[in-house]
Amino acid sequence: MSFINLKKRNAGCYSSPFSGVGAEFFPLGILPDHSGLVLHEAGFVAQNNWWNFPNTLSPFWRLYYNFKKGHKVVFRNFEKELTPEHMVLIPDHQLFDSVGTRPVPHFWVTFSLASRLDIHQEIPIILTPERYELDIIRKITALFNDTANCLDRKKTYNMCIALLNIVLCRKEIRWQTNDSPMIEKASHFIEQNYTSAISIRETARKSGMSYTAFIRAFRRYQGVKPVRFLMQVRTRQAADLLVNTNLPIEDVAEKTGFPNRAYLSRVFKKITGTSPALFRKTHSPS
Give the Cα separation of 120 and 248 in Å (integer): 40
pLDDT given for residue 8 in this prediction = 44
pLDDT given for residue 178 in this prediction = 66
pLDDT given for residue 279 in this prediction = 81
- pLDDT of 84 > 60? The answer is yes
Least trusted range by pLDDT, from 56-70, 98-112, 174-188: 174-188
* H-run or E-run covering 12: none
pLDDT given for residue 46 in this prediction = 94
- pLDDT of 2 > 50? The answer is no
pLDDT given for residue 170 in this prediction = 96
| CB 113, CB 33: distance < 8 Å | no
87 by DSSP, 3-state: which?
strand
Domain(s) labelled CATH 1.10.10.60 in the chain stretch across 181-283
CATH class assigned to 3-167: mainly beta
pLDDT tier at 274, thresholds 50, 70, 90 = confident
Chain segment 85-118, per-residue pLDDT in tens: 999 999 998 889 999 989 999 999 999 888 888 8
Number of H-type helices and E-type strands within the chain:
10, 10
Least trusted range by pLDDT, from 22-31, 83-92, 261-270: 22-31
pLDDT tier at 30, thresholds 50, 70, 90 = low
pLDDT given for residue 12 in this prediction = 56
pLDDT given for residue 4 in this prediction = 38
Can you tell me the mean pLDDT for 129-138? 97
Least trusted range by pLDDT, from 113-117, 179-183, 282-286: 282-286
Omega before residue 124 within 30° of 0, cis: yes
Q: What are phi and psi of 25, to 5 degrees?
A: -120, -110
- pLDDT of 140 > 90? The answer is yes
Give the Cα separation of 143 and 138 in Å (integer): 9
pLDDT given for residue 230 in this prediction = 92
Domain(s) labelled CATH 2.60.120.10 in the chain stretch across 3-167
Give the Cα separation of 108 and 89 in Å (integer): 10
Q: What are phi and psi of 47, to 5 degrees?
A: -135, 75
Can you tell me the mean pLDDT for 265-278? 87
pLDDT given for residue 29 in this prediction = 56
State the CATH architecture for 181-283.
Orthogonal Bundle (1.10)
User: Cα–Cα distances in Å, from 77 out to 40, 96, 219?
Assistant: 29, 10, 21
pLDDT given for residue 122 in this prediction = 93
Chain segment 216-251, per-residue pLDDT in tens: 989 888 878 999 989 988 987 888 788 778 999 999
pLDDT given for residue 35 in this prediction = 67
| CB 178, CB 125: distance < 8 Å | no
